[in-house]
Amino acid sequence: MNSSLRSENQIETTTSYKFQKEILDDLKSNPKKLSSKYFYDSKGDSLFQKIMALEDYYLTKCELDIFKNQTAEIANLINTESKPFDLIELGAGDAMKSTFLLEHLVRKGANFTYMPIDISANILSVLKTNLNNAIPELNIICLEGEYFEMIEKAMTISSNRKVILFLGSNIGNMEIADAEQFCSKLKRKLNQEDNVLIGFDLKKHPKTILRAYDDPTGVTAQFNLNLLVRINHELGANFNINQFEHYQTYDPINGACKSYLISLIDQKVLIGEHQIHFAENEPIFMEISQKFSPADILKLAHRSGFDSLSELYDSKKWFMDAIWQI
Ligand code: AVI
């Protein structure tokens, strides 16, 4: 075995050990939980694509509206003095929204390198091929791995100004305290002239929010249940997914939209050699999709050391892309 293969295998072993440890710790905790960052295996990726295409899942359409219709404004705000810069996108996925910005920047002759960061090598390679075809002039460096490790890597690749994109309300998948920690850490990595652009889903009629996360076709339910299927495949578990049901809540006061899987019966599940007991009606907390008011967003910016530079809304005012400076 050559040394690069050996180190790839070591990375794989470390990653799957981390996955197993986290899953077991989370299912042995009280209340039980699982981390939504593990939703995205290849089946999870394709279910999320289906969610984004759902009529009621408005988030993607709203942010697309901003990126389609306010592209020049975003470009002016982030491309301040036309100095070379690195445009780093956290969790780039298929870069559907940012492609509008990339095309615009290339058309305007901006001097920048696009650096998408994603945990999925597969997604990055598809993205690179698609972008090479769509925008051949674009400089692109894909960074595969965890956000902060890859931001550090980007710093070693070039000393250019950094503009960080964190779109799609991904920040909403963190508890508020974690989002604050995340933004503070991000701030510490950046320099005076850098900017961040973060997509926030706004508080709105509770029924509109619940419909987006509790679709009648059951795709969101499958998306949640798929993590149990993944645990079955990757950790040798025996979850019977018919014995768990997706349950969604939204609290219009604190803006927390939460999903759970409810155990329909009293049951024991094996994960490798570990046995986990689920009482009838016991919940597993799966995901938070936090909703914000403009004031909540300003508070988050200030508490993590940023200043607001601009707030861009879609035509319905359901979503905000906030641009922050240091
Ligand atoms: C990726 N993330 C921003 C989605 C959200 O809206 O919280 C994940 C999702 N979960 C259920 N539907 C979509």
* Residues 165-216 pLDDT 10s: 999 999 999 999 999 999 999 999 999 999 999 999 999 999 999 999 999 9
Q: Which protein residue has the closest C-alpha to ligand 1 atom 12?
A: 213
Please tell me the predicted confidence (pLDDT) of residue 3.
45
pLDDT of residue 1: 44
Q: Does the beta carbon of 49 lie inside 6 Å of ligand 1? A: no
pLDDT at 63: 98
- Among 112, 93, 83, residue whose Cα is nearest residue 48: 93
The tokens for 64 are 């697309």
CA 191 to ligand 1 centroid distance, Å: 30
CA distances from 114 to 79, 87, 164, 200 (A): 13, 5, 10, 22
CB 100 within 8 A of CB 75: no
- Answer whether 169 contacts ligand 1 (Cβ < 6 A): yes
Ligand 1 atom 6 nearest Cα: 289
Q: Determine the distance separating the centroid of ligand 1 and the alpha carbon of 289, expressed in angstroms.
A: 6
- Whether the complex's predicted ipTM is more than 0.85 is answered with yes
Nearest CA to ligand 1 atom 2: 170
Do the Cβ atoms of 324 and 198 come closer than 8 Å?
yes
| Predicted pLDDT of residue 79 | 81
Q: Which of 112, 293, 22, 73 is nearest to 197 (CA)?
A: 73
Residue 114 Cβ contacting ligand 1 at under 6 Å: no
Q: pLDDT tens across 301-317, in order?
A: 999 999 999 999 999 99
Pairing relationship of beta strands 143-144 and 195-201 according to DSSP bridges = unpaired
Q: What is the helix (H) or strand (E) element at residue 277, kind and residue range?
A: strand 274-278
Whole-angstrom distance, CA of residue 289 vs CA of residue 167: 13
Nearest CA to ligand 1 atom 1: 170
* Distance between CA atoms of residues 146 and 35, nearest Å: 15
Cα(199) to ligand 1 centroid in Å equals 12
Atom of ligand 1 lying closest to residue 287 CA: 10
Q: For residues 79 and 141, what is the distance between their CA atoms, to the nearest angstrom?
A: 19
The answer to whether 90 touches 166, Cβ cutoff 8 Å, is: yes
First and final C-alpha spacing in the chain: 48
Pocket test for ligand 1, best of 40, 47, 51 (most atoms within 8 A of CB): 51
- Residue 43, H or E segment: helix 42-53
What's the confidence (pLDDT) of residue 7?
53
Q: State the pLDDT at residue 9.
A: 56
Atom 5, ligand 1: residue with shortest CA distance: 289
Say yes or no: CB of residue 287 within 6 Å of ligand 1. yes
8 A C-beta contact, residue 288 and residue 172: yes
Residue nearest ligand 1's atom 7 by CA = 289
pLDDT under 50 in the chain at which residues? 1-6
Strands (E), 101-205: 112-118, 139-140, 143-144, 161-166, 195-201
Q: HSE (CB half, 13 Å, CA atoms) of 320? A: 20
- Look at the pTM and tell me if it is higher than 0.90: yes
Mutate-to-test residue for ligand 1 from 34, 48, 64, 217, highest number of ligand atoms within 8 A of CB: 48
